[in-house]
Amino acid sequence: MAAMEQGPWAAPPSSRWSAGRVVALVFGVLLLIPALGMLVGGGALLWVDTVSRTDDGYVLSPTDTFTSDGYVLRSERIDLSNGADWIPLSSSLGTARVDVTGTDPSQEIFVGIAPVADATRYLDGVSGTVIDDLGFADQVQNTHLLPGGPPSTPPGDQDFWITQSSGSETQQLSWSPAQGNWMLVIMNADGSAAVAVNARIGATLPSLSGLAWGVLITGIVLTLIAVLLIALAIRRPATRTGVPYGYQPAPVAGGPQQPWAPPAGRAPVVPPPSGRPPVPPSSTSQQPWTPPVPVDRGTAADATPDSARSAPPGEPTP
């Protein structure tokens, strides 16, 4: 019965995790979390830039209704600063815009933007409502009422407004933001109580597209790096294979069959015949040793009768 051919011997893979694999896994997971956040944020910014823009290039908040039983609707202190005096705000914000429409078509509405110090001085002691988060969701929820009385004069009589607009129809107020502290003020044009408007705010945001693509591409790169680190950490080590000396692997089907040869510099081990010790290879002879054939001394060519031998001196020959 023919012996079964065996394939090459393979060392069993190690199940232990090295320090390098553990470090790669930890760094991969820690890097993947902010990378996914940047992917989501970049995608959201890109969606706003491509879908939420108006035909004239503005990104506007949803229209919401604001009311006050007092005499004024005003924003919180608006601090505009880009952290660098040599970079104009117009490069990031562009042109700001406020759209305001009175809920009562017969009532004229006033909209103005002024420095915080001047607006605060004019509205000191005036009853009204402060909008805490203008331009965000649930704006009606983020308001609080200030006690007081009516203003001393109608808002249109003041000369400290940076920009202003008034009328009975939709008032669209455009403004090029500059560094400083500002306040948005909405009132009835005659300074009366019970202010009720529908309003929205926005800007052109010229740098939004570049910011969205930058965040998205950075998130993609960080995600690829994180996935690569995790894959390198959890992959199984490569299986090492080897053929012991004197072992012939199974032939490959369809391939050429080459005779097996021992490694260079080493002589093959020849199995000895049964009952005889192995003969080490010799540099002069490769034939096994054979004992000499026994010789019959009576028939050998150098054999002579005893009588033919010479007798010692002094003794007669027989």
Q: Would 315 be classed as within a structural domain?
A: no
Whole-number pLDDT of residue 63: 87
Q: Would 107 be classed as within a structural domain?
A: yes
Whole-number pLDDT of residue 262: 58
> Taking all residues of the chain, what is their mean pLDDT, rounded to a whole number?
77
Whole-number pLDDT of residue 307: 53
Q: What pLDDT digit, counting tens, does each position of 209-261 carry?
A: 888 899 999 999 999 999 999 888 887 665 555 545 444 555 555 555 566 66
The fraction of the chain above a pLDDT of 70, given in percent, is 64
Q: Would 257 be classed as within a structural domain?
A: no
Q: How does residue 290 score in pLDDT terms, banded at 50, 70 and 90?
A: confident
Q: How does residue 18 score in pLDDT terms, banded at 50, 70 and 90?
A: confident
Question: What are the tokens at 189?
Answer: 């044009």
Q: Would 178 be classed as within a structural domain?
A: yes
Whole-number pLDDT of residue 84: 45
User: Do 78 and 162 reside in the same domain of the chain?
Assistant: yes
User: Do 87 and 162 reside in the same domain of the chain?
Assistant: yes
User: Do 40 and 116 reside in the same domain of the chain?
Assistant: no
User: Do 143 and 174 reside in the same domain of the chain?
Assistant: yes
Examine the fold and report which residue of 161, 180, 203 is the final residue of a domain before the chain moves on. 203
User: Do 25 and 101 reside in the same domain of the chain?
Assistant: no
User: Do 135 and 162 reside in the same domain of the chain?
Assistant: yes
d(CA 129, CA 1): 102
Q: What pLDDT digit, counting tens, does each position of 159-215 carry?
A: 999 999 999 889 999 988 887 889 999 999 999 999 999 998 888 888 888 888 999
Q: Would 117 be classed as within a structural domain?
A: yes
pLDDT for residue 315 is more than 60: no
User: Do 131 and 183 reside in the same domain of the chain?
Assistant: yes
User: Do 227 and 196 reside in the same domain of the chain?
Assistant: no
What's the predicted TM-score (pTM) here?
0.58
Whole-number pLDDT of residue 139: 47
Which residues, 6 or more positions from 168, have their beta carbon under 8 angstroms from its beta carbon? 102, 105, 106, 107, 108, 109
Residue 126 belongs to domain spanning: 58-203
Please state the rounded mean pLDDT for residues 42-68.
85
Q: Which residue has the higher pLDDT, 48 or 163?
A: 163
Name the domain count of the chain: 2
Q: What pLDDT digit, counting tens, does each position of 91-126 carry?
A: 567 888 999 999 998 889 999 999 999 999 999 999
User: Do 154 and 134 reside in the same domain of the chain?
Assistant: yes
Q: Which residue has the higher pLDDT, 205 or 35?
A: 35
Cβ(38)–Cβ(219) below 8 Å: yes
Q: What pLDDT digit, counting tens, does each position of 63-93 carry?
A: 888 999 999 999 888 877 655 444 455 556 7
User: Do 63 and 23 reside in the same domain of the chain?
Assistant: no
Q: How does residue 288 score in pLDDT terms, banded at 50, 70 and 90?
A: low
Cβ(211)–Cβ(92) below 8 Å: no
The CATH number linked to 83 is 2.60.120.380
Examine the fold and report which residue of 203, 222, 242 is the final residue of a domain before the chain moves on. 203
Whole-number pLDDT of residue 17: 75
Q: Would 97 be classed as within a structural domain?
A: yes
Which residues, 6 or more positions from 129, have their beta carbon under 8 angstroms from its beta carbon? 66, 67, 68, 69, 70, 72, 73, 74, 143, 144, 145, 146, 195
How many residues are given for the chain? Answer: 318
Whole-number pLDDT of residue 245: 46
Q: How does residue 291 score in pLDDT terms, banded at 50, 70 and 90?
A: confident
Please state the rounded mean pLDDT for residues 286-307.
62
Q: Would 114 be classed as within a structural domain?
A: yes
User: Do 81 and 169 reside in the same domain of the chain?
Assistant: yes
User: Do 125 and 87 reside in the same domain of the chain?
Assistant: yes
Whole-number pLDDT of residue 301: 58
Write a three-state SS string for the chain: CCCCCCCCEECCCCCCCCHHHHHHHHHHHHHHHHHHHHHHHHHHHHHHHHHCECCCCCEECCCEEEEECCCCEEECCEEECCCCCCCCHHHCCCCEEEEEEECCCCCCEEEEEEEHHHHHHHCCCECEEEECCCCCCCCCCCEEEECCECCCCCHHHCCCCCEEEEECCCEEEEECCCCEEEEEEEEECCCCCCEEEEEEEEECCCCHHHHHHHHHHHHHHHHHHHHHHHHHHHCCCCCCEECCCCCCCCCCCCCCCCCCCCCCCCCCCCCCCCCCCCCCCCCCCCCCCCCCCCCCCCCCCCCCCHHHCCCCCCCCCC
Whole-number pLDDT of residue 151: 93
Which stretch of 39-43, 143-147, 223-227, 247-251 has the lowest confidence by average pLDDT?
247-251
Q: What pLDDT digit, counting tens, does each position of 255-282 carry?
A: 555 666 656 655 556 555 555 555 555 5
Whole-number pLDDT of residue 87: 46
Q: Would 226 be classed as within a structural domain?
A: yes
Examine the fold and report which residue of 157, 181, 203 is the final residue of a domain before the chain moves on. 203
